[in-house]
Structure 1
């Protein structure tokens, strides 16, 4: 599965950086049409996480993941073969659904196959994914030097083939053990100790809501920093892509070492109270101060802000990998992790709005932004305390026939 993560993100790196250009210059879509495609993919993708997790609790995980990867490959065909807008909308919707489903399914696989070592396993997986993204992005930049329609189609075909490769590699993966699926002769379909599931688990839903806030570091890196650089005007615009490179390099270099700080549930919860909260607060303060200095000072502060938010990103990933599983019943991990995946989907919608609000408010806005996320860390630290002391009831295994 680690190789699959590398192949998957390499393909995504080929396509993500050029998709807007492809739809503009090859397909000939308007700005409004391109925006609608992206919005459709995002909206349908919201359902991908919970549905993918739910299916993985009822069917073999590797088979579900194979089907999702095949669907992602299928979604690329209309982009290559037609410019009919209705078909492009349908393909974008399928691609968005497949993207979000595959993320929660690969994470669930890591949880099941690695057991207590799941944090380190996912750190390695994330490092490989970031490396793949960088390789794909570099390949896309090289291909675009030709500036031809053939070059764009080559990149899209490469993305589609990466999904085919992922699907085929998934078939070679052993099915991990699952507490939600056992081959048994039990005939009791509604055991008394079955909880109502994540949708009625108020503590877990509140935890997911706080996670949505903590995932805002992604919006800062991808949207906030470039817009702030353009808005303030006291640093060169070329700094923006360099900060994205810095983010990627730091994740590849430090995600695995930092994962050791949250290798247990107790250690992961402890990271919330000070290290993670401090990183968010310092990042917001550095963004605010960058508007008040000389070019050199502002540049250094923005590098510091990017470093602080990247550190927060890595620490939060470590905390999130552990707590999202520790707070869920062992026999309903798919359903719970699927609901947890909604936090990232929601962040994609509210994140750009949050950072643009901070930019519009100026230095005070960035200070409030960082402080607000830091306070959310403290809230989450207290929220999970009682739950970890009194774990939820486990769902009885689902009876599965495998004739």
Structure 2
């Protein structure tokens, strides 16, 4: 190859590297997200059926198991973040992926209720820890491009969920206990695969561990404690409210359609597909609107409008016939999906920008509590909105919109003082 050919080849390689923040490591982590979420999609679709028909649990037992698992899982985010400030993040993430794999496989070995609860709880704890560790890795490896990388990661994850759901649908068509067991095996295998892939990822620099191990910095620098940071804790509380769009899609739409009696029940599946398609198509383009801290904070204004519109259109679906209900519920699903994408973009940037460099893991771990708390409080908020009818849904959307305004003001002074939280870094590819 001549000199010009070598230059062209290098240029093409550089261009490919710029497409994915973090270069080769960024691409590997996207592959990990695809494998992880595909496995999770396999299991999520049949977990209740497995526990009911294979393990023989009653409805009350399944509900209690889910509640206990969710409660234990809350500890996963702060635990994973705290450990990642002290040890290499790739090793910590690998360990939690192996924990998830072992917990999934252990479900196959017993029908004892106490053991099933324990295995499910450990699996949920590992899942929440892995989520925050993946975000922390993106923060460190992608630097200022972290929002764009998170958008790509979320798009790939949604595609993985869809693939896993298709596989689960095929197994459900068989309807045998063996098919359910193989789906659980597939879930565990995905975690083993992600653990192996994670070991191949380069370890990004950690400001926290750099400070802790440096011999030339003089007196030891004490990492900031997020549990004593009242501004950040208040921010996490607002994040819990802004994450309620998740509860709308998990239970709100199906319950509202079932109890209102206007729209056809089959609309639920259509709207869930619509949600996934919109996220895959528009998450990355929307993320470009929030690539700076100021821009991300500015997105809280249209985010408030999206939440208010979602609640209002859901309320309007209560009156009229099937066509009117279908149109307004679909409009509401679109508005809440837009809110979901905007809130994710804002959250990726502000959660990091508000955190000190030397305590990123601990801070992001505490931030992860917002999603865990929402999983517990979200169903209550949504069922309250449904019980309140049109007024309930209007209040639901308006309350979240007001919380957007509160967060907009809450972070203003802090962000004026905060430096760029993550400078560009060079990560070893070995």
Settle same-fold status: TM greater than 0.5: yes
Q: Is the 8 A contact 1:212 1:344 kept in 2?
A: yes
Indicate which of 375, 386, 390 corresponds to 2:402: 375
Q: Is the 8 A contact 2:224 2:356 kept in 1?
A: no
Paired residue for 2:372? Answer: 345
TM-score normalized by the length of structure 2: 0.89
* Correspondences of 1:25-64 after superposition (within 5 Å): 25-64=53-92
* Correspondences of 1:386-397 after superposition (within 5 Å): 386-391=413-418
Give 3-state SS (helix, strand or coil) of 1:308's partner.
helix
Q: Is the 8 A contact 2:208 2:223 kept in 1?
A: no
Q: Distance in 2 between matches of 1:367 and 1:92?
A: 36
1:68 aligns with 2:96: yes
Residue 185 of structure 1: how far off its partner (Å) = 2.4
- Cα root mean square deviation, aligned: 1.4
Paired residue for 2:116? Answer: 88
Q: Is the 8 A contact 1:285 1:370 kept in 2?
A: yes
Paired residue for 2:363? Answer: 336
Paired residue for 1:111? Answer: 139
Paired residue for 2:150? Answer: 122
Paired residue for 2:105? Answer: 77
Residue 78 of structure 1: how far off its partner (Å) = 2.0
Q: Distance in 2 between matches of 1:234 and 1:343?
A: 34
Q: Distance in 1 between matches of 2:274 and 2:295?
A: 27
Paired residue for 2:261? Answer: 233
Residue 189 of structure 1: how far off its partner (Å) = 7.0
Q: Distance in 2 between matches of 1:113 and 1:392?
A: 18
Unmatched segments (≥5 aa) in structure 1: 395-403
1:256 aligns with 2:284: yes
Q: Is the 8 A contact 2:354 2:418 kept in 1?
A: yes
1:14-38 alpha-carbon deviations (Å, 9 max, x no partner): 0001000001111111112111211
Q: Is the 8 A contact 2:223 2:359 kept in 1?
A: no
Residue 393 of structure 1: how far off its partner (Å) = 12
* Correspondences of 1:14-33 after superposition (within 5 Å): 14-33=42-61
Indicate which of 368, 384, 392 corresponds to 1:357: 384
TM-score normalized by the length of structure 1: 0.95
Q: Distance in 2 between matches of 1:240 and 1:309?
A: 14
Give 3-state SS (helix, strand or coil) of 1:145's partner.
helix
1:185 aligns with 2:212: no
Residue 41 of structure 1: how far off its partner (Å) = 1.2
1:125-162 alpha-carbon deviations (Å, 9 max, x no partner): 00000000000001100111111111011100000000
Runs of 4+ aligned residues of structure 1 deviating over 2 Å after TM superposition are 183-191, 391-394
Q: Distance in 2 between matches of 1:102 and 1:289?
A: 40
Give 3-state SS (helix, strand or coil) of 2:175's partner.
coil
Q: Is the 8 A contact 1:328 1:392 kept in 2?
A: no
Indicate which of 223, 238, 241 corresponds to 1:213: 241
Q: Distance in 1 between matches of 2:103 and 2:144?
A: 36
1:77-128 alpha-carbon deviations (Å, 9 max, x no partner): 2211111222212101110100100000000000000000000000000000
Q: Distance in 2 between matches of 1:299 and 1:151?
A: 35
Paired residue for 1:171? Answer: 199
Q: Is the 8 A contact 2:224 2:359 kept in 1?
A: no
Q: Distance in 2 between matches of 1:359 and 1:86?
A: 34
Residue 391 of structure 1: how far off its partner (Å) = 2.4
Residue 190 of structure 1: how far off its partner (Å) = 4.4
Unmatched segments (≥5 aa) in structure 2: 1-28, 422-430
Q: Is the 8 A contact 1:56 1:334 kept in 2?
A: yes
Q: Distance in 1 between matches of 2:217 and 2:407?
A: 39
Q: Distance in 1 between matches of 2:80 and 2:383?
A: 32
Q: Is the 8 A contact 1:195 1:393 kept in 2?
A: no
Give 3-state SS (helix, strand or coil) of 1:181's partner.
helix
Residue 186 of structure 1: how far off its partner (Å) = 5.1
1:324 aligns with 2:354: no
Q: Is the 8 A contact 1:120 1:263 kept in 2?
A: yes
Equivalent pairs counted in the alignment come to: 391
1:297 aligns with 2:297: no
